[in-house]
């Protein structure tokens, strides 16, 4: 109804007049006009011109159970009527937050019995920085402050989140990273490991962590943070040898391992959490996005027993928290969403059905002249672009990505271009025929780009 109340042009004009978008060149957007998305169902979205578009990115990696899930709508409405807000400060709590904490302890790996709630992944990673440093203070090693992240990792957009991440464009604005956060190179075989086997490269890339620990001084290193699969960096799936070696190195030096599960959590990789797919045992785990399938904002940090016990036994007051930590409506929606994931068996649907099928179909793209390699992990996929055959006029792979993304947009597919990789992360409710439909569109966009 609201969508039809103005024309597309009127929406666009009002948008560019008043709405500063995230990660957007506003001068450029004002000239082009934003695409106005007005409704959605299952894995499809519609724009104000009535175009139906297959949402290959689940919104922003979050609408895992798909659009239009009535159970989530009902949970929000019921909670809004009963108790729309109460805080968790000053020794109060609410039933949805308690029940969600209980359920999260059940679906996460066994070392996690406690959760700290936030409203976003960025706030979750800010919380990690404070919690990690608090932990080492309690342990009598306050000099352990340095947190090691990775180049081309993404951990959010707040000062600490963007500092933990290794996005050069973000560091270039605003004096980042903040002190005591350093980075190592990413485990990106196609870019950094050609000429050696993937397995050997995985060990080499993990070895960069040990080198950095020794450079900083092991007694100064607090934690290492990484996404099981780098998402915003371009769905970079590390070699199988990488994460077990990272775990070994963290254990060797006693440093905390933080798994950023904001994208990989809640079934995306074919297990409940990406750390299970990669075989690590993190001390802290950040989540957001898929916990509510994006229907309302919620994030948090799962706190493993090592850190939780220190905070409980010797920590006293942890001076950190948000008005919306444990927001009852967000928690009620998350509860309904996790129960839906369980009812629909979505984790096993990804692991045993659509994940392997996506891998099989993506591998078929390897013969395309624009494709250097493809990678998938569960329901995340990347097409590594190359400059194509001699004779094409592209200046760079980046340019190929720009052109390809434009074709996707025009042909009814949301697929993201990240540098020289085209990526997807579709809703986990996707079916095999819908994957076929997406693959037709992906190949068409690649062909049109040639
Ligand atoms: N961590 C990862 C791995 C992410 O992909 C993102 C967002 O894309 C974040 C953290 C930040 O989450 P938010 O945008 O909810 O602050």
The torsion angles phi and psi of 59, rounded to 5 degrees, stand at: 70, -105
**Look-up: residue for tokens 């001084």?**
217
| Closest atom of ligand 1 relative to the 125 alpha carbon | 10
Ligand 1 site, residue 121, Cβ cutoff 6 A = yes
What does the DSSP assignment read for 255-285? -EEEEE-TTTTTTTTSSSSHHHHHT---SEE
ipTM, 2 decimals? 0.99
How many C-beta atoms surround the C-beta of residue 156 within 10 A?
Answer: 25
Average pLDDT, the chain: 96
Average pLDDT of the segment spanning 277-294: 98
**Look-up: residue for tokens 């993404």?**
154
The pLDDT value given to residue 4: 80
Class for the domain spanning 35-65+345-449: alpha beta
Share of the chain above pLDDT 70, in %: 98
Ligand 1 mean position, distance from CA 356 (Å): 26
Hey, which bits of 123-229 come out as E strands?
Answer: 146-150, 181-184, 221-226
The pLDDT value given to residue 392: 66
The answer, yes or no, to whether residue 388 has pLDDT greater than 90, is no
> b/e map of 373-397 (b: 16 or more CB within 10 Å)?
bbbbbbbbbbbbbbbbeeeeebeeb
The answer, yes or no, to whether residue 394 has pLDDT greater than 80, is no
Residue closest to 128 by CA, chosen among 147, 108, 105: 147
Question: Which one has a higher pLDDT value, 406 or 363?
Answer: 363
**pLDDT band at residue 399, thresholds of 50, 70 and 90?**
confident
Ligand 1 mean position, distance from CA 43 (Å): 21
Portions of the chain given CATH number 3.40.640.10? 71-343
- Ligand 1 pocket: which of 288, 416, 418 to mutate (most atoms within 8 A of CB): 288
Average pLDDT of the segment spanning 361-366: 97
**Look-up: residue for tokens 């297959």?**
54
The residues, ordered by sequence, that sit 6+ positions from 200 with a Cβ below 8 Å of its Cβ are 193, 241
Ligand 1 mean position, distance from CA 180 (Å): 21
| Closest atom of ligand 1 relative to the 121 alpha carbon | 12
Model confidence over 237-280: pLDDT tens digits?
999 999 999 999 999 999 999 999 999 999 999 999 999 999 99
Residue closest to 286 by CA, chosen among 262, 310, 266, 308: 262
Radius of gyration of the chain (CA): 22
Ligand 1 site, residue 122, Cβ cutoff 6 A = yes
The pLDDT value given to residue 364: 98
Average pLDDT of the segment spanning 79-105: 97
The answer, yes or no, to whether residue 390 has pLDDT greater than 70, is no
The residues, ordered by sequence, that sit 6+ positions from 71 with a Cβ below 8 Å of its Cβ are 336, 339, 340
The pLDDT value given to residue 2: 77
75 sits in which H/E element: helix 70-82
Ligand 1 mean position, distance from CA 22 (Å): 13
Q: Which two tokens stand for residue 55?
A: 């949402």
**pLDDT band at residue 212, thresholds of 50, 70 and 90?**
very high
The pLDDT value given to residue 312: 97
How many C-beta atoms surround the C-beta of residue 366 within 10 A?
Answer: 12
| Closest atom of ligand 1 relative to the 289 alpha carbon | 15
**Look-up: residue for tokens 């709508």?**
73
Angle between helix 328-343 and 95-107 (nearest 10): 40
The answer, yes or no, to whether residue 393 has pLDDT greater than 70, is no
Task: Give the lowest-confidence range in 68-72, 108-112, 240-244, 389-393.
Answer: 389-393
The pLDDT value given to residue 258: 99
The residues, ordered by sequence, that sit 6+ positions from 324 with a Cβ below 8 Å of its Cβ are 117, 118, 119, 297, 330
Model confidence over 127-176: pLDDT tens digits?
999 999 999 999 999 999 999 999 999 999 999 999 999 999 999 998 99
**C-alpha torsion sign, points 358, 360, 361, 366:** positive
The pLDDT value given to residue 293: 98
Phi-psi domain of 345 (left: phi exceeds 0; alpha: psi -120 through 50; beta: other): left
Q: What is the C-alpha to C-alpha distance for residues 324 and 85, in angstroms, rounded to an integer?
A: 9
Residue 38 three-state SS:
strand
Q: What is the C-alpha to C-alpha distance for residues 222 and 133, in angstroms, rounded to an integer?
A: 7
**pLDDT band at residue 1, thresholds of 50, 70 and 90?**
low
The pLDDT value given to residue 409: 86
**pLDDT band at residue 406, thresholds of 50, 70 and 90?**
confident
Ligand 1 site, residue 262, Cβ cutoff 6 A = yes
CATH 3.40.640.10 fits 71-343, yes or no: yes
Ligand 1 site, residue 201, Cβ cutoff 6 A = no
Residue closest to 166 by CA, chosen among 201, 125, 136: 125
Ligand 1 mean position, distance from CA 157 (Å): 8
Please give the C-alpha separations between residue 239 and each of 17, 186, 201, in angstroms, as whole numbers: 46, 11, 7
Ligand 1 site, residue 120, Cβ cutoff 6 A = yes
Average pLDDT of the segment spanning 83-97: 96
Portions of the chain given CATH number 3.90.1150.10? 35-65+345-449
Please give the C-alpha separations between residue 298 and each of 62, 286, 336, in angstroms, as whole numbers: 11, 11, 13
Pairing assessment for the beta strands 256-260 and 284-287 based on DSSP bridges: parallel
């Amino acid at each position: 109804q609201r969508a039809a109340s103005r024309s597309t042009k009127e929406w666009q004009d009002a948008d560019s007049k008043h709405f500063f978008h995230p990660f957007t060149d506003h001068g450029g957007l004002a000239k082009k006009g934003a695409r106005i998305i007005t409704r959605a169902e299952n894995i499809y979205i519609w724009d104000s011109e009535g175009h139906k578009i297959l949402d290959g990115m689940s919104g922003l990696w979050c609408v895992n159970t798909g659009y239009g899930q009535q159970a989530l709508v009902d949970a929000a409405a019921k909670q809004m009527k009963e108790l729309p807000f109460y805080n968790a400060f000053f020794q109060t709590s609410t039933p949805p937050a308690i029940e969600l904490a209980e359920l999260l302890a059940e679906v996460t790996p066994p070392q996690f019995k406690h959760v700290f709630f936030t409203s976003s992944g960025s706030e979750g990673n800010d919380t990690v920085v404070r919690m990690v440093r608090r932990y080492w203070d309690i342990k009598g090693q306050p000099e352990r402050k340095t947190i090691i992240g990775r180049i081309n990792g993404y951990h959010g957009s707040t000062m600490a989140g963007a500092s933990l991440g290794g996005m050069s464009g973000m560091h270039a604005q605003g004096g980042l990273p903040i002190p005591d956060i350093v980075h190592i190179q990413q485990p990106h075989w196609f870019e950094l490991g050609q000429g050696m086997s993937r397995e050997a490269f995985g060990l080499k890339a993990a070895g960069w962590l040990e080198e950095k620990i020794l450079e900083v001084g092991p007694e100064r290193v607090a934690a290492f943070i990484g996404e099981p699969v780098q998402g915003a960096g371009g769905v970079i799936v590390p070699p199988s040898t990488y994460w077990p070696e990272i775990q070994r190195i963290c254990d060797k030096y006693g440093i905390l391992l933080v798994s950023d599960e904001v994208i990989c959590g809640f079934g995306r990789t074919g297990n409940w959490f990406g750390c299970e797919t990669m075989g690590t045992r993190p001390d802290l785990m950040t989540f957001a996005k898929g916990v509510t399938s994006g229907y309302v904002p919620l994030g948090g940090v799962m706190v493993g027993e090592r850190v939780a016990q220190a905070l409980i036994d010797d920590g006293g007051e942890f001076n950190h928290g948000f008005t919306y930590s444990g927001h009852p409506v967000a928690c009620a929606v998350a509860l309904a969403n996790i129960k839906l994931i369980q009812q629909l068996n979505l984790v096993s649907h990804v692991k045993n059905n659509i994940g392997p099928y996506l891998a099989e179909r993506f591998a078929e793209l390897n013969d395309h002249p624009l494709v250097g390699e493809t990678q998938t992990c569960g329901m995340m996929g990347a097409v590594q672009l190359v400059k194509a055959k001699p004779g094409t006029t592209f200046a760079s792979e980046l340019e190929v990505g720009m052109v390809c993304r434009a074709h996707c947009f025009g042909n009814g597919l949301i697929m993201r271009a990240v540098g020289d990789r085209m990526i997807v992360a579709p809703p986990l409710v996707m079916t095999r025929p819908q994957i076929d439909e997406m693959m037709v569109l992906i190949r068409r966009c690649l062909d049109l780009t040639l």
